Amino acid sequence: MRITRKKPTVIWKRVWQNLHNNGLTAPIKSAWCAAINDILPTHDRLTEIHLVPTNTCPRCNNPDSVLHRITDCSEGSVQWTWTKKKLGIILRTEPKHIPKEWTICPDIKLWPPQRQAAVIWIVANFVFYRLQNNRRLSLRDYIDFMKRARWKQIQKQAGQIQEDTLKCRNGTTRKETMRTEVKRKMIIPQKYQIE
C-alpha cells in the first residue's frame, strides 16, 4: 500500500486493529480509512498528480492536506481543541500532549482497553464529522453530532433484537424474534460524558 511506504515508522498493524476492532459504524470506518490512506481529493494530493497548479487551501491559503482539512481549516481548530479537552479528561493529561496525527494515523495503544476504545471512538467520530461535505458547521453543531452519535450507540446496545430458535413440543423448531433488554447497561462515569 502506498501509505505504508510513505510512513514506514508507523505501526500499521495497530492502526488497522484500531480502525476495525472498536465498534465503529461502516460509514465512520470508511471515512476514517480514506483519511488514513490519504486518498481524499485535497489540493496537496491533486498537486502531486498534476491536476491543480498549487497545493494551497481555497478557504484559508494554507497548504491543503488531510490533516489540515480535519484539524485546522475553518472551524476545525475550534472543534479539535474541544475534542482534545475531552480526550485529555479521559487520558488524564493536558490537551496539548494529544497529537493531531491521531486523526490520520491512529497507532494508539492505551490501557485499559475501554479507555482505548473510548479514545478511538471519539477521534473516529471527529474525523467523520470533519470530512462531511459541509465543513463550515459550528462547534455547537459538532457537540450535538457527538451527543446524537453516543445516544444512537447506547440505544443500539440497550435493546437488541435477537432471533431465538425455540423448540416446540413436537420436536420441530420455530424462529421467534423477541426484544431483549440488556440488564448491564453501559455505565459511563460522569467525567467522561460529553456535555
pLDDT tens, position by position, 96-155:
999 999 999 999 999 988 899 899 999 999 999 999 865 568 899 999 999 888 756 655
pTM confidence score: 0.76
- Give the whole-number percent of the chain exceeding pLDDT 90: 51
Q: How far apart are CA 146 and CA 152, in angstroms?
A: 10
Please give the mean pLDDT across all residues of the chain. Answer: 80
Q: Does the pLDDT at position 52 exceed 60? A: yes
Tell whether the model's pLDDT for residue 181 goes beyond 50: no
- pLDDT over 60 (residue 84): yes
Average pLDDT over residues 28-42: 92
> Of 40 and 1, which is predicted with more confidence?
40
Domain regions of the chain by residue span: 2-192
- The three-state secondary structure class of 152 is helix
H-helix segments, 7-159: 12-20, 26-36, 43-48, 66-71, 76-91, 113-130, 139-158
> Quick one: average pLDDT of 167-177?
50
**Contact at 8 Å (CB) between 31 and 38?**
no
